[in-house]
Each structure stands twice: as structure tokens, then as C-alpha cells.
Amino acid sequence: MARIFITGSTDGLGLMAAQILSGQGHTVALHARNDARARDAQAALPDNAGVAVGDLSSITQTREIAGQVNDIGPFDAVIHNAGVGYYGRSRVETDDGLSDVFAVNVLAPYLLTALITPPERLVYLSSGMHHSGDTELRDAQWTRRPWQGAQAYSESKFYVTTLAFAVARRWPTALSNAVDPGWVPTKMGGNSATDDLQLAPVTQAWLAAGDDAEALVTGRYFHHQQSRRAHPATQSPQVQDRLLKYCADLTKVELPTAVSAD
């Protein structure tokens, strides 16, 4: 059985994936934004390995989360599930001067990947909207452009998909994949969403702990356990390295170039 850490797992798809994995006999550690949410997580999944607490919009707190995870771990898999949506939102600036959509959806997964003891498998939550993302990292914090929530979200999902593939390239001994869970009626997806909520957490749980050949791959983009075509630029080493440098400059933490097999 595997040990798995899931960000943003107090409710929604993160909690649903945790419940699937726990039901299969795996050991799951959770993440909550604050102490109140941590209590919710404990109540929803009492049989957990621990709850890391911290706000992923903060670079300082994300570093602290990584330390907590390493204290609870090590882990066989990490699911980077936490995310910020865009419905009805204006630009929100974090204490670090960043767009919170970028900070939570992109920078936090980058920093956690760089600081958590490398697992054998990494899963990053993407979206079909990543196909509309900007490949050039132009004004990634939306300080010069008029705010467009849907585009900011699309760009963040383009970047996190690029991150997943960059990790797959740099860490060939690990399995790193991106997942589009579909447009489902979660708190983020909204009530108008049309995809199947019950199917939405299945693929990330499968990639984190599945032992069939289709799950033991890397550098892929999945929807409902089927490999799909990602935006071609996400596979570009130049685009990947540009994103990694940008995130390293913001956090002062570089992604290790490689991890060795045990």
C-alpha cells in the first residue's frame, strides 16, 4: 500500500480522492488552509496520516507546509490538487505581491515539488482550459493587463501542466503527470458544470497508486483515465525551463535537476 499526500483536501476533489485512496487501503495525509479547515479534514477522514496546515498563496507558508509534509512523510505520491478558480473574482494580490491564481495554482506546486522529499509519483491538477494559456509568461501576475479571470485561470493551468512535464523530463525516475478532472459542480466549478462529479477524482487517485500499465507512465495529460493531447508548448524544454526559472526567481528555490532511484 502507498503513502500519499494531497493538497487542498478538506473538501471537493481533494477530499474525494483521499476517500477513494483510503478506501483502497492506502495511507493518506491531508492539507488544510487553516486550523478550522484542518478540523474539518480530520472529521471528514479521521483515519489520516496527518494534516499539513498553511495557506498556499503565501510563499512562506508554503515552505512551512513542505516542512510539515517531510516530517509526516516520506510519501510514495503527491497529488497537487489545490487550486483557485475565477468565477466572479477580481484580481487578488497576495502578501508577496503576486496574483493569487498564479500563487496557488502554479507557484505553490512548484515550491512543494522542489522542497518535499521527492516521491515516486506526482500528479498535477490541470484543466481543459489550459489550451488557451499564454506560452510566453507575459505579465503572468496581471499587473499590466486588465484582469480577465478566465484567461488568468487558463494560463495558470497551462503553467502547471508545463510544470508536470518539466518534472517528468528532469526526474526520469519519477512518474509525473497532469490531469483534467473535467468541468464538475464543485465549489470551484460552480453549479452549471456538466461533467460527472463521481468520475472527477478517479484519475488522480489512479495515477497516484494504480498498478496497471496505463497508470505507470510519465509526462502525460489525462482525462478520465485516458491520455489526451496537451497544448504542444507544454512539452517544449524551452517553455519548461522559462517557467522553472521564473518560479525559482520568485521563490529563491530551484527545482533539483534530478532525483535518483532508491
Active site residues: 153, 157
Give the torsion through C-alpha atoms of 125, 128, 130, 131, to 10 deg: 150
Cα–chain center distance at 20: 18
For CA atoms 56, 106, 152, 98, give the dihedral sign.
Answer: positive
Answer whether 86's CB lies under 8 Å from 15's CB: no
- The backbone torsions φ and ψ at residue 29, rounded to the nearest 5 degrees and listed phi first, read -105, 145
CA distance 112 to 78: 9
Identity of the residue numbered 235: Q
**What residues have CB less than 8 Å from 238, skipping those under 6 apart?**
none
Q: Taking the CA of residue 214 as centre, how many other CA atoms within 13 Å lie in the half-sphere pointing to its CB?
A: 11
CA distance 40 to 107: 25
CA distance 214 to 62: 32
Pairing of strands 121-125, 77-80: parallel
Cα–chain center distance at 8: 9
Q: Taking the CA of residue 63 as centre, how many other CA atoms within 13 Å lie in the half-sphere pointing to its CB?
A: 8
